[in-house]
Amino acid sequence: MLIVASEHIALPSLFRYLSHNLSRILVGVPMDSLEEIRIRLSKPVVLHYTQKIMFLDKDGGMTGDKGRAYIAQKSDLTECVEKLSHGSVYAYQNEIQNGYITTQEGDRVGISGHIVMDGDSVGTIREIASLNFRFSREIIGAADMLMPYILPPDGPKSVLLLSPPQCGKTTMLRDAARQIAMHHKTVIIDERCELAGVSGGICHYDLGLHSEVLSGCPKDIGMMMALRSLSPQFMVTDELGRTEDVEAVRQALNCGVTILASMHATNISDLKRKRGLEDLYGLFDVVACLGLLNGKRVLTQVEKPCEKS
């Protein structure tokens, strides 16, 4: 079991997207291990830390007492959405249809509310009822324990990183992409604009010298585009989850590209139980599981399917 190097986390930049009231009372709240802020209409604002859950105190700071918690108003949610969309909701229509807005720093804000359907697909979300601010992190060295599996002495290997939500998959993937792209041509397919945090064509995170980013593009389409035009040695993508993704991974591997990808799964057995996605296990050279142990990120399970077969 390997333990990740100690984290150095920059202060979150999400405050400028919060309503005036919220940003005023959030001053003084410790940010070191803050992972999420959940703002639910007419409910206390909840602060999720790595190892504890607290409420936002109505007089500023944080509290464990629900009675003293700040209750989110409709104006807070409206103001936050206006600020998140830079006063241009239409420009974020596609993201809102998928249930989130990604900030230019690569932080993702989940949205819930009343879904308005447009035919068979989601048209928009109105009467927004809650926002979930998730703080993305750039931890240099976060992928150090994974790198020996990706770039062993006998040549690059395709790696699938499994983990439940909130364990730092994207952070690890981001650092791995950075380390790979120092020496290899790498294409990052960033469907949710979270991995690279591209804004105005510039990556918010350090993703290495030889990286190209296809942002906002569905993974399967992005992989094919990259194969045709960018001649990558490596492809990095986050959260595989559709059967189309499996086929795209297969095609990319057939073309000789090495893939580093992540996926939501508790462990390898969980992956094998996922209908339509179980084939992923046999496609990758290494399947690794990331988990939390006493607040530290560790690789809990590593298997090499090729060696097994």
Partner 1 sequence: MRKIIGGFVIILVGAYMGFKMSQKYKKREENLNYMIEALTIMQTRIGFCADRLGEIFITLSHALRGEMGALFTEVSEKIKRGNLPADAFWETLTVREHTLCFTERDMSIMEELCKQLGKNDCSHEICQIRKTIEELSQNKQEAQAAMAKEGKLTKSFCFLSSILLVILLM
β-sheet bridge partners, residue 215:
190
Interaction between residue 91 and partner 1 (CB under 8 A): yes
Q: Which one of 83-91, 159-167, 188-196, 300-308 is the stretch in contact with partner 1 (CB under 8 A)?
A: 83-91
- Nearer of residues 123 and 282 to partner 1, judged by Cβ: 123
- The 3-state secondary structure of the chain reads CCECCCCCCCCCCHHHHCCHHHHHHHCCCCCCCEEEEEEECCCECEEEECCCEEEEECCCCEECCHHHECECCHHHHHHHHHHHCCCCHHHHHHHHHCCEEECCCCCEEEEEEEEEEECCEEEEEEEEEEEEEECCCCCCCCCCCCHHHHCCCCCCCCEEEEECCCCCHHHHHHHHHHHHCCCCCEEEEECCCCCCCEECCEECCCCCCCEEEEECCCHHHHHHHHHHHCCCCEEEEEEECCHHHHHHHHHHHHCCCEEEEEEECCCHHHHHHCCCCCCHHHHCCEEEEEEEECCEEEEEEEECHHHHC
Interaction between residue 124 and partner 1 (CB under 8 A): yes
Interaction between residue 166 and partner 1 (CB under 8 A): no
- Nearer of residues 98 and 124 to partner 1, judged by Cβ: 124
Q: Which one of 78-86, 105-113, 179-187, 222-230 is the stretch in contact with partner 1 (CB under 8 A)?
A: 78-86
- Nearer of residues 61 and 218 to partner 1, judged by Cβ: 218
Q: What angle do CA 10, 135, 8 make, to 5 degrees?
A: 30
Q: Both tokens of residue 281?
A: 């296990």
- Nearer of residues 49 and 92 to partner 1, judged by Cβ: 92
Q: Both tokens of residue 108?
A: 């993702």
> Which of the residues 14 through 33 are near partner 1 (CB under 8 A)?
16
Considering only residues 83, 242, 250, 274, which one is a binding residue for partner 1 as defined by CB under 8 A?
Answer: 83
Q: Both tokens of residue 263?
A: 């996926």
Interaction between residue 82 and partner 1 (CB under 8 A): yes
Task: State in angstroms the smallest separation of the CB of 111 from partner 1.
Answer: 14
Task: State in angstroms the smallest separation of the CB of 12 from partner 1.
Answer: 18
Interaction between residue 52 and partner 1 (CB under 8 A): no
Interaction between residue 201 and partner 1 (CB under 8 A): no
Q: Which one of 7-15, 34-42, 66-74, 86-94 is the stretch in contact with partner 1 (CB under 8 A)?
A: 86-94
Interaction between residue 88 and partner 1 (CB under 8 A): yes
- Three-state DSSP class for 263? strand
> Which of the residues 210 through 239 are near partner 1 (CB under 8 A)?
none
Give the rounded distance of the alpha carbon of 133 from its chain centre: 12
Interaction between residue 74 and partner 1 (CB under 8 A): no
Interaction between residue 121 and partner 1 (CB under 8 A): no
- Nearer of residues 32 and 118 to partner 1, judged by Cβ: 118
Task: State in angstroms the smallest separation of the CB of 40 from partner 1.
Answer: 22
Interaction between residue 86 and partner 1 (CB under 8 A): yes
Where do we find the tokens 């959260």?
Answer: 239
- Nearer of residues 93 and 166 to partner 1, judged by Cβ: 93
Q: Which one of 3-11, 89-97, 238-246, 284-292 is the stretch in contact with partner 1 (CB under 8 A)?
A: 89-97
Return residues touching partner 1 (CB under 8 A): 16, 82-83, 85-91, 93, 123-124
